[in-house]
């Protein structure tokens, strides 16, 4: 009976849950924020940060993700760590760790070494990618297997670096959101589009956001992220799922830019009331 129950739990837990977290951080989630700040060495807009997100599946809390960007000698390091804290995610011991180190070139972050370690139900999965920009190659290794060498097409990026580059591009007019992402055994094209700005209620208060949606052809799957321009285009909400199935969502709960904690702003109701007062209007129910 115990084995039968465990198999049922495994069947209900979709493997895509871990994969989508990497896509959203994504990051993702990750990865989370890059606030505008001067970098004397390369004129970049990178600045250390740390962020925490909650993860839910179909409205039920699963766990948390912590993301950080910091200096690594003359370069930079991005890290993310997912941990299942509730429900099936906790029972199955779900965890996912990603890390990438790289450097700045012409104001852009280019990865040198990326690694990922996922764990679920006692089963580990590891892979890493080493970028050789001079040779135009990326070496991908799974566990102790022989490396797979792929040709770098343009500025192909790992999942964490891609999210950082997306935020950089969103800071400019009419951003080109066509990317190439290095995955476990291939380089895949990823295309996104910008949607109309939207005010969003978050743990950091009411924020104006720029929603971004992944372009999919003939698919019921969706992936969307809401970026806050006032916070350096940090992602404050991300979601992924199927229109007729599982819905996974990440919401920001904490954010530090450098050593400064971002304090919550007024909520959207307070903002709307202030806007009405500024226009000399009367709030509903005041008469």
The C-alpha atoms of residue 80 and residue 67 are separated, in whole angstroms, by 4
- % of the chain at pLDDT higher than 70: 81
Per-residue pLDDT of 131-164, as tens digits, reads 999 999 999 999 878 889 999 988 899 999 999 9
Determine contact, residues 127/138, Cβ cutoff 8 Å.
Answer: no
Other beta carbons within 10 Å of 110: 16
Helix (H, G, I), strand (E, B) or coil at 255: strand
Per-residue pLDDT of 18-67, as tens digits, reads 444 433 333 333 333 333 332 333 335 688 999 999 999 999 999 999 99
Q: What is the pTM of this model?
A: 0.82
Comparing 272 with 189, the larger pLDDT belongs to 189
- In angstroms, what CA-CA distances link 182 with 113, 131, 141, 158? 12, 10, 12, 5
> What is the separation, in whole angstroms, between the first and last Cα of the chain?
64
Determine contact, residues 74/280, Cβ cutoff 8 Å.
Answer: no
pLDDT at 58: 93
Is residue 241's pLDDT more than 90? yes
Please report which confidence band the pLDDT of residue 272 belongs to, taking 50, 70 and 90 as the band edges: confident
Determine contact, residues 163/234, Cβ cutoff 8 Å.
Answer: no
pLDDT at 284: 58
pLDDT at 99: 98
| 90 closest CA partner among 126, 67, 127, 119 | 119
Is residue 117's pLDDT more than 60? yes
Q: What is the mean pLDDT of the chain?
A: 84
pLDDT at 154: 84
**Phi and psi for 100 in degrees, rounded to 5?**
-140, 135
pLDDT at 21: 45
- What is the mean predicted confidence (pLDDT) over 194-212? 97
Please report which confidence band the pLDDT of residue 120 belongs to, taking 50, 70 and 90 as the band edges: very high
- % of the chain at pLDDT higher than 90: 68
Per-residue pLDDT of 78-116, as tens digits, reads 999 999 999 989 999 999 999 999 999 888 999 999 999
Is residue 181's pLDDT more than 50? yes
């Amino acid at each position: 009976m115990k084995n039968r129950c465990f198999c049922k739990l495994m069947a209900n837990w979709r493997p895509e849950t871990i994969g989508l977290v990497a896509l959203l951080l994504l990051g993702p989630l990750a990865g989370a924020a890059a606030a505008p700040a001067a970098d004397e060495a390369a004129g970049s807009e990178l600045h250390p940060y740390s962020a925490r997100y909650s993860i839910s599946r179909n409205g039920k809390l699963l766990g948390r993700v912590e993301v950080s960007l910091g200096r690594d000698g003359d370069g930079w390091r991005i890290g993310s760590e997912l941990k299942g804290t509730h429900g099936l995610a906790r029972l199955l011991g779900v965890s996912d760790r990603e890390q990438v180190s790289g450097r700045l070139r012409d104001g852009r972050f280019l990865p040198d070494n990326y690694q990922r370690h996922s764990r679920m139900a006692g089963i580990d999965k590891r892979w890493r990618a080493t970028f050789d920009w001079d040779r135009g190659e990326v070496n991908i290794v799974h566990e102790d297997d022989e490396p797979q060498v792929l040709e770098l097409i343009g500025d192909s990026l790992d999942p964490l670096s891609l999210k950082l580059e997306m935020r950089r591009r969103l800071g400019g007019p009419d951003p080109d959101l066509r990317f190439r992402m290095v995955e476990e055994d291939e380089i895949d094209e990823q295309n996104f589009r910008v949607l109309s700005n939207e005010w969003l209620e978050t743990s950091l208060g009411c924020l104006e956001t720029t929603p971004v949606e992944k372009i999919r052809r003939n698919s019921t799957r969706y992936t969307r992220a809401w970026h806050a321009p006032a916070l350096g285009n940090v992602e404050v909400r991300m979601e992924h799922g199927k229109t007729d199935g599982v819905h996974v969502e990440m919401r920001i709960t904490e954010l530090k830019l450098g050593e400064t904690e971002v304090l919550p702003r007024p909520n959207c109701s307070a903002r709307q009331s202030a806007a009405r007062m500024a226009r000399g209007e009367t709030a509903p129910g005041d008469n």
